[in-house]
Amino acid sequence: MPGSANSMLSTQHVSHANKFINDLTHSDIESHKTVAQYMSALDAEVTYHKFYPQLNQFHPLHFFTSSDSGIISKNISCSSLGINVAGIIRAPRGDGKEAIVLVTPYNPKKVGPGEALSLGIAYSVFSLLSRVTWLAKDVIWLVADSQYGEYSAVSAWLREYQAPVFHEAEIVNSETCNDSIAISELGQNPYSDRNSYGGFRRAGTMAAALVIKVDEQGNHHEDSLNIYPEASNGQMPNLDLINIVNYLGVHKTGFRIKVKKMFSLLGSRWLNTLGGIFESLGQIARSLNPQWKFGISATEYVEGAATLASSMYSQGLGVPTGSHGAFRDYQVDAITLKISPKDSPTKMIRRNDFILRGGRLIEGVIRSINNLLEKFHQSFFLYLLSSSSKYVSVGVYMIPFALLVAPLPIVAASLHADASKSTLQSTYSSEVEVSHKSWKWLNSARKVLVIHLWGAVVSLLPYFLYQIPNSTPTTNFTVWGILSAFSLIILYFILGSPIFEAAPSQPEKGEWASLKSVTISTAFIGLSLMSVINFATAEIGALLIVPICLMARPLKLDAQARSWRALLRATCNLALGFIAFPPVAYFLVKGAFEDFNGTNVGDYWNWVESLWTWNSATYLYVGIVHLPCWALCIHILFHPC
Amino acid sequence: MSTKTETPVKKKNQKKIQCFWSWVIGSVILRLIIIYFPKNLNLSSRPEVSTPLTSIRRLAEGYWLKQSSMSPYAGSMYHGSPLLLTLLGPLTVKRIEGQPDHLLCSLVFVIADVVTAMLICAAGKKLQAAYSSSLQSIGLHHLSEDSDILPSGDFAALLYLWNPFTIVACVGLSTSAIENLMVVVTLYGACARLAPLAAFGWVMATHLSLYPAILIIPVILLFGYGPDAPPRKLFRQRTNLEVDDSASGDRSCLEDELVNEKRMLNVFSWRPVVLFLFWALLWSSYVLVLCGIYVQQHSGLQEMFKSTYGFILTIQDLSPNIGVFWYFFAEVFDFFRSFFLIVFHGNILLMILPLALRLNHRPCFLAFVYIVLSSMLKSYPSVGDSALYLGLLGLFAYELKDMQFSFFLFSGYVGVSLLSPVMHNLWIWRGTGNANFYFATAIGYACLQIILVVESVSAMLNHDRMITKLTTAKLQNVKS
């Protein structure tokens, strides 16, 4: 049971941590040396890890490969070298095969008060752990150099830890950089000569990792703890890790645990109304039978919905919400704990108390992980958070998605059957033609394939646009749009040329139906594939693309029909076709949750850029599945049947 | 699978050939482009591409063992033929500066693919000529014109070359390209009635991957009866009729046809079959002698058989692949293992005889069906096997034009081949899935293959029925 042991963190540890913070913020020597000195004073093994910041770049072929390719641009000077400090405590009871990682990102050039406080909390826990007897897993404290972004620092250290590349190490340790001097200086230091090591030190397999941060701003009602679990491509850490933190936070240390939520939803009127309806329904049900307890209060409902929406959005984006994301690539469960103090860290009166509470929470979590015999149970990776203590599991959220996409194959099959039936009649009427009735779909399949190829080309274009120097997002976006349209026209001409046209060129009657059936089946395949890779993207994408896919019907037919139903359908089609265009969808969503003020087309480029720099599968989904399906639907709408 | 392979149907012959060659060259260029990104794609370590039998890494390991004068089969790494070691082994160690590793090997596989496609094309042409002449001889002239319109040989060759499975297997350096080549050599040799070539192909294919051994039945039928033709009873009816009419009809124009029919009518001709068997014996002893010389320093042929055929039959390697055996044999209790080994391998053997009886007038199609069955039920399947039968499917484009569920099969193949790597990634790399996720796609894949084989056989039988109906109608007309 987590938290059943008494906390051992005492005020003595806290006062040490206080001294550490003061030294860190006020001393003249470089801060990583201070950290190393303090670490080695605790009998920890201290190592420096030097790395070049790795620029996130779009590598179109790296989506499907292992992330072992450390690409470092050549002309990086020594000054841009980052230095991580890692301290390892060897467990007295362990065999050194497992480890728990604590990460505190900080900027050595300018240590902010919040960062200093987070380092202090980690130090207090670390100093406790170096003395305790119950430790069965090694503890690694990584002080990550965040001057080039905390994610790149953590991922560089992890890469070195998990998949070292030997020829690169020589580059980093080359004598041209004067960092070897720094190490020799450290060697002369009386504090650290025992425990400082030149090479990279490792502990065992990582069981879990915690990234600790303290918010720079205060002004909160009470001390609260924000949990950031999302890693790249919507991967989540094991739910038990969040449960432990939540349990200890609520029951032991009295933090208010928060998960990110969409604040714009909290004030929305329709959601509140819906919540009110659910509440009254629950009350009615309870009045009928006191055993029925499914009603929830309106505020709870609205809060849950806002959290769920935010959870889905950050999973669907596929961009990690913090440096914990780097751990998930190596199958290590990790979360970021961002502690927001009541007062601002600079003018905090009861700093010791704050460190004590934060430290006790971390200690409890580490102790719980330490006592695990095996890994967390494997099945709790697929979930959406609706509050820090509630979640929607995969078995529940798959049902609406399955219902949403289930019509696609059915409609595709019925359209396909109709199309082949109609061609059957036409071929029997004219026996001269070779009947290929069951292969008629090949024509449509070729079109769909070409459009999907176009989608792939469009998604690769930014890679080349990125090479253009000094361009603003707006121009980039415009050039991208123009090039995409241009490539579509080229493909259209190739497609329309007689080389490709096997069948007689005049469009047949049922041609749009067969085209639609192939389009729908590709949309179905794409959505099912995406639901496995990143569920949230698939869900949001399905909401956008499924209606237009199902409704699409040539406008000409609707116009000829001249009934209210047909006109309504045509308008719906046009509206849906407008909404499903990716940039439009982006701006509508942005407008709905934020406001339209100050948005320009460059924002879309920036958003897309953030997706591809993080190698998010969402980008590929939008480029290769969503955009071609949308284009095909528009093609069907304007089909000259 | 690629829809691009559609060749223009109603074009002049010359234009068609030009187009054909440009498509062939295009496919070679595509392969060469992909070969230059080996690190990024890393295909040779995918479980879909390289099985324990076909992996180039294992082959390089075997060659290394042999070079350091150890048995190539030591350590259960290599399970292929010693002849492949002598052929490809030296190429695996040769590196050209600045070029991707295994460049020479990949070039060999590209050449093997192109040769396979050419042989499929040639076999297709022979089949088509024979088929249209046999259609003419039973009097269905308009059908024979129809069947000429679609150049099924070219079509099948392009289908083979542009099939993503073939490309992936070729670029992923799987030796299945060479196994496929040998199978196609067998079929071509049998279609062209070249007994030594067919025997060589059959012996080599069997030597390389064991399962093509069952192709001996279609090959013997091919040599005995000639290539695919409508059911034989139709010819008999026709000749009966013509013997009746011969007095009244003008003999001169039927002379040629009658000679042709005699060939068709000839019941089993034993001479080429015996010749084939003789050559097969010769080639197999030759291959055995060569292998014996190669492995003689290390416990001889017995070890070779044990670690090639024995490895295939006893399914020792249970690493995941796109087949269905690994999962089952990882779960099964040890004392049931031999029983289930017999049951699973018996599956293929069980279907050989009924199919041979029902389809004996279409030996090439029978070979296709056997290849689908064995690539579905073999112990270490890879996408290279699917590439072969999907290419051969193109040979019967005319007969199978009314095949049902073609769209469903196409979507299914696309879906499964995309889903399977994702599931594998989920299980092995992300750790959020488990083996069942991946195995589910393997089951889906097996089901698709079953549907494919069932539907193609039923389409073929329907086609036969259609021909029978047409000829009997014609005969009725003539009689009345």
Please give the full DSSP string across A88-119, using - where no structure is assigned: EEPPSSS-SSEEEEEEEEE-TTS--HHHHHHH
pLDDT confidence band for A79 (50 / 70 / 90): low
**pLDDT-above-90 percentage for chain A:** 14
pLDDT at B369: 94
Residue after which a domain boundary falls, among A389, A422, A444: A389
Q: Are A451 and A631 in contact (CB under 8 A)?
A: yes
Q: Does one domain contain both A117 and A81? A: yes
pLDDT at A525: 94
Domain residue limits at A294: 261-320
Cβ neighbour number for residue A133 with a 10 Å cutoff: 7
pLDDT at B364: 92
pLDDT confidence band for A220 (50 / 70 / 90): low
In a domain, A47, yes or no: yes
Check CB contact under 8 Å for B407 and A518: yes
- Helix or strand or coil: residue A208? strand
Domain count, chain B: 1
Residue after which a domain boundary falls, among A368, A389, A410: A389
Q: Does one domain contain both A330 and A417? A: no
Q: What SS3 string covers A63-92? A: HHCCCCCCCCCCCCCHHHCEEEEEEEECCC
DSSP letter at A27 equals -
pLDDT confidence band for A124 (50 / 70 / 90): very high
Residue A471 pLDDT more than 50?
yes
Angle at which helices A627-637 and A535-551 cross, to 10°: 10
Residue A186 pLDDT more than 90?
no
Residue type, B307: S
pLDDT confidence band for B366 (50 / 70 / 90): very high
Lowest model confidence (mean pLDDT) among A160-169, A465-474, A572-581: A160-169
DSSP letter at A199 equals S
Q: List residues of chain A with CB under 8 Å from any CB of chain B.
A: 61-62, 64-66, 69, 235, 331, 378, 381-382, 413, 416, 434-439, 441-442, 445-446, 449, 499, 502, 517-518, 521-522, 525, 528-529, 532-533
Q: Tell me how far apart the alpha carbons of residues A193 and B134 are, in angstroms, rounded to a whole number.
A: 93
* Residue of higher predicted confidence among A170 and A41: A41
**What's the mean pLDDT in A598-621?**
82
Q: Does one domain contain both A225 and A285? A: no
Core vs surface per residue A270-284: b (16+ CB within 10 A) or e: ebbeebeebbeebee
Task: Please name which of A209, A229, A208, A226 lies closest in space to residue A217, comparing C-alpha atoms.
Answer: A226
In a domain, A1, yes or no: no
In a domain, A5, yes or no: no
In a domain, B258, yes or no: yes
pLDDT at B367: 94
pLDDT at A152: 85
Residue B457 pLDDT more than 90?
yes
- Residues from chain A that touch B431, judged by Cβ atoms under 8 A, are 331, 378, 381
Q: Tell me how far apart the alpha carbons of residues B279 and B416 are, in angstroms, rounded to a whole number.
A: 42
Q: Does one domain contain both A254 and A298? A: no
Tens of pLDDT, residues A430-452: 333 444 566 778 888 888 888 89
pLDDT at A378: 55
Give Cβ neighbours of residue B390 (< 8 Å, ≥ 6 apart).
Answer: B1, B159, B160, B163, B165
pLDDT at B96: 76
Length of chain A: 641
Q: Tell me how far apart the alpha carbons of residues A26 and A578 are, in angstroms, rounded to a whole number.
A: 58
Q: Tell me how far apart the alpha carbons of residues B162 and B114 are, in angstroms, rounded to a whole number.
A: 11
Lowest model confidence (mean pLDDT) among A64-73, B192-201, B316-325: A64-73
Q: Tell me how far apart the alpha carbons of residues B85 and B317 are, in angstroms, rounded to a whole number.
A: 21
pLDDT at A609: 82
Check CB contact under 8 Å for B3 and A449: yes
Q: Does one domain contain both A407 and A512? A: yes
pLDDT confidence band for A217 (50 / 70 / 90): confident
Measured CA angle at A225 (ends A224, A229), to 5 deg: 155
In a domain, A255, yes or no: yes
pLDDT confidence band for B385 (50 / 70 / 90): very high
pLDDT confidence band for B118 (50 / 70 / 90): very high
Tokens standing for residue A56: 């996130």
Tokens standing for residue A467: 């090479």
Q: Tell me how far apart the alpha carbons of residues A388 and A246 are, in angstroms, rounded to a whole number.
A: 7
Task: Please name which of B1, B415, B373, B357 lies closest in space to residue B168, comparing C-alpha atoms.
Answer: B1
In a domain, B16, yes or no: no
Name the residue among B6, B40, B411 with its Cβ closest to that of A502.
B6
Residue A641 pLDDT more than 50?
yes
Comparing alpha-carbon positions, the chain A residue that sits nearest to B403 is A438
Bridge partners for A139 per DSSP? A89, A100
Tokens 């580059």 identify what position? A171
Q: Does one domain contain both A67 and A155? A: yes
Check CB contact under 8 Å for A382 and B432: yes
In a domain, B434, yes or no: yes
Residue A288 pLDDT more than 90?
no
Tens of pLDDT, residues A157-166: 888 888 777 6
DSSP letter at A631 equals H
Tokens standing for residue B390: 């999907």
Give Cβ neighbours of residue A328 (< 8 Å, ≥ 6 apart).
Answer: A231, A232, A235, A237, A320, A334
Residue A623 pLDDT more than 60?
yes
Residue B246 pLDDT more than 60?
no
pLDDT at A423: 57
In a domain, B327, yes or no: yes
In a domain, B24, yes or no: no
Q: Does one domain contain both A246 and A287? A: no
Query: B36-41: long-range contacts at Cβ-Cβ below 8 A with a sequence spacing of 24 or more?
Result: B36/B100, B37/A61, B38/B100, B38/B101, B38/B102, B38/B171, B39/A65, B39/A69, B39/B100, B40/A61, B40/A62, B40/A65, B41/A61, B41/A64, B41/A65, B41/B171
The CA distances from residue A13 to A16, A35, A132, A427, in Å, are: 5, 16, 13, 88
Strands A256-259 and A224-228: parallel
Check CB contact under 8 Å for A521 and B406: no
Residue B438 pLDDT more than 60?
yes
In a domain, B332, yes or no: yes
Q: Tell me how far apart the alpha carbons of residues B107 and B110 are, in angstroms, rounded to a whole number.
A: 5
What distance in Å separates residue A301's CA from the closest CA in chain B?
Answer: 29
What distance in Å separates residue B316's CA from the closest CA in chain A?
Answer: 28
In a domain, A2, yes or no: no
Q: Cα–chain-centroid distance for residue A154? A: 16
Name the residue among A62, A331, A525 with its Cβ closest to that of B411.
A525
Tokens standing for residue A396: 């529940």
Residue B252 pLDDT more than 50?
no
Q: Does one domain contain both A221 and A267? A: no
pLDDT at A542: 93
pLDDT confidence band for A353 (50 / 70 / 90): confident
Tokens standing for residue A395: 């078995």
Tokens 């394939």 identify what position? A449
Tens of pLDDT, residues B187-218: 999 999 899 999 999 999 999 989 999 999 99
In a domain, A539, yes or no: yes
Residue type, A181: I
pLDDT at A67: 44
pTM for the complete prediction?
Answer: 0.87
pLDDT confidence band for A286 (50 / 70 / 90): confident
Q: Does one domain contain both A308 and A331? A: no
Strands A138-145 and A82-89: antiparallel
Q: Does one domain contain both A475 and A622? A: yes
What distance in Å separates residue B249's CA from the closest CA in chain A?
Answer: 29
Tens of pLDDT, residues A126-154: 999 888 888 888 999 999 888 888 888 88
In a domain, B472, yes or no: yes
pLDDT confidence band for B411 (50 / 70 / 90): very high
Chain B, 395 to 434: residues with Cβ < 8 Å from chain A are 401-404, 406-408, 410-411, 414-415, 418-419, 421-423, 426, 429-432, 434
Measured CA angle at B400 (ends B395, B404), to 5 deg: 140
CATH code, domain carrying A64: 3.40.630.10
pLDDT at B261: 52
Tokens standing for residue B454: 């069932």
Q: Are A144 and A103 in contact (CB under 8 A)?
A: yes
pLDDT confidence band for A491 (50 / 70 / 90): confident
* Residue of higher predicted confidence among A263 and B199: B199
Tokens standing for residue A335: 């979360």
pLDDT confidence band for A524 (50 / 70 / 90): very high
Residue A187 pLDDT more than 70?
no
**What's the mean pLDDT in A326-343?**
87
pLDDT at A502: 47
In a domain, B243, yes or no: yes
pLDDT at A176: 46
Among B3, B9, B49, B438, which would you mutate to test the A interface (most chain A Cβ atoms within 10 Å of its Cβ)? B3
Name the residue among B8, B408, B419 with its Cβ closest to that of A502.
B8
**Mean pLDDT taken over chain A:** 80
Comparing alpha-carbon positions, the chain A residue that sits nearest to B423 is A532
pLDDT at A300: 87
pLDDT confidence band for B232 (50 / 70 / 90): confident
Q: Does one domain contain both A534 and A584? A: yes
- Residues from chain B that touch A413, judged by Cβ atoms under 8 A, are 408
Check CB contact under 8 Å for B402 and A435: yes
Domain count, chain A: 3
pLDDT at A402: 94
pLDDT at B280: 94
Q: Tell me how far apart the alpha carbons of residues A255 and A119 are, in angstroms, rounded to a whole number.
A: 19
Core vs surface per residue B204-242: b (16+ CB within 10 A) or e: bbbbbbbbbebbbbbbbbbbbbbbbbbbeebbeebbeeb
Tens of pLDDT, residues A354-381: 888 889 899 999 998 888 877 776 567 8
Give Cβ neighbours of residue B421 (< 8 Å, ≥ 6 apart).
Answer: A64, B46, B48
Comparing alpha-carbon positions, the chain B residue that sits nearest to A433 is B146
pLDDT at B388: 93
pLDDT at A104: 92
pLDDT at B116: 94
Q: Does one domain contain both A578 and A628? A: yes
Domain residue limits at B73: 41-311+319-479
Which of A52-56, A254-258, A628-632, B151-155 is most confident?
A628-632
**pLDDT-above-90 percentage for chain B:** 38
Q: Cα–chain-centroid distance for residue A254? A: 29
